Amino acid sequence: MNIGKFAFDAPVFLAPMAGVTDTAYRVIAHDMDCPLAYAEMVSAQGIHYCNERTLAMLSSERDERPLAMQIFAKEPVMAAEAAAFIEALGTADILDFNMGCPAPKIVKNGEGSALMTDPKRAEKILTAIRKAVKMPFTVKMRKGWDDAHVNVVELAEIAEAAGVDAIAVHGRTREQFYAGNADYDSIASVKKAVRVPVIANGDIRTFDDLDRIRRVTGADGVMIGRAAQGNPWIFRRFTHYWRTGERLAPPTMAERAKVILHHLDLLLHYKGDYIGPREMRKHATWYTRGIPHGALLRDKFNKATMREEFAAIVRELMVEAETL
């Protein structure tokens, strides 16, 4: 599939996730053959007011390109201004607009999935962004607000008419948040309704899930969110499977240990000795899900404050693995 000038032969993308898809994790994902990562959503208002933390989120590394930068907004003028700023900055290759975030603090401000309830305003924003930038432009949305208001096809058609280059659809409503099952039929309806590439999102954890979502939706690509937390290997395994049909084995304990420390080192580099280890705690708990004695290790990770402490826990992890 293509997004603007960018061609992907195995389009298994990293979904934007607040507090997860920062530079450190995106670099790791690209190392694991992820062809395109979406950065954490960034506030258009924050860009407008030159908020220091917001502007810092717009940085990127050569090792993670191509990169999609996602913005959220409630007004066309501010959305267009933020889009133009990102294009001029040159730290991203693709611009994405968020119409899917279900978080209450975003929705109550009329942003994210709240725009699914206001198609006319969504149209004005998407049109304004398209006029403001020449770079490839995508949009991410949900099935609808709730089961009584499923309007993803309408919004997808609006987005296509506004000039987006691809549409990503999470097959849940806003009111579902992440509960229940993703509705792949709703994504299939979008695929039938538009000509631009469609990216399917929701509940893609296994090879069988990947087969099913592709078969049911007919989507051009897929986007992996929560299943990638603590599991960057999913991109190497899924892209290889997409190309060859071969199912690679899951990572060994030694591979997990190596990536845990590499991830920590990246966080130390980008976020410093205080914030880095504390942000690593959640990642370390994800990396050790499903392994023997994982709960004990996670308790230790959640108390670690220095690299040496993380390294000691990782060594313990390796010793445990050798005794099994």
Phi and psi angles of residue 141, each rounded to the nearest 5 degrees, phi first: -140, 175
CA dist 107 → 98, 278, 290 (Å): 11, 28, 34
Q: How far apart are CA 141 and CA 167, in angstroms?
A: 8
CA-closest candidate to residue 57, choices 31, 24, 101 = 24
Phi and psi angles of residue 12, each rounded to the nearest 5 degrees, phi first: -115, 100
CA-closest candidate to residue 206, choices 229, 180, 227 = 227
101 is catalytic: yes
Q: Are residues 132 and 95 in contact, defined by beta-carbon separation less than 8 angstroms?
A: no
Q: How far apart are CA 110 and CA 6, in angstroms?
A: 32
Torsion from C-alpha of 148, 154, 158, 159, nearest 10 degrees: 80
Q: How far apart are CA 104 and CA 113, in angstroms?
A: 10
Give CA 282 to chain center in angstroms. 17
Q: Which of 36, 37, 84, 101 is catalytic?
A: 101
Q: Are residues 253 and 245 in contact, defined by beta-carbon separation less than 8 angstroms?
A: no
Give CA 261 to chain center in angstroms. 22
Active site residues: 101
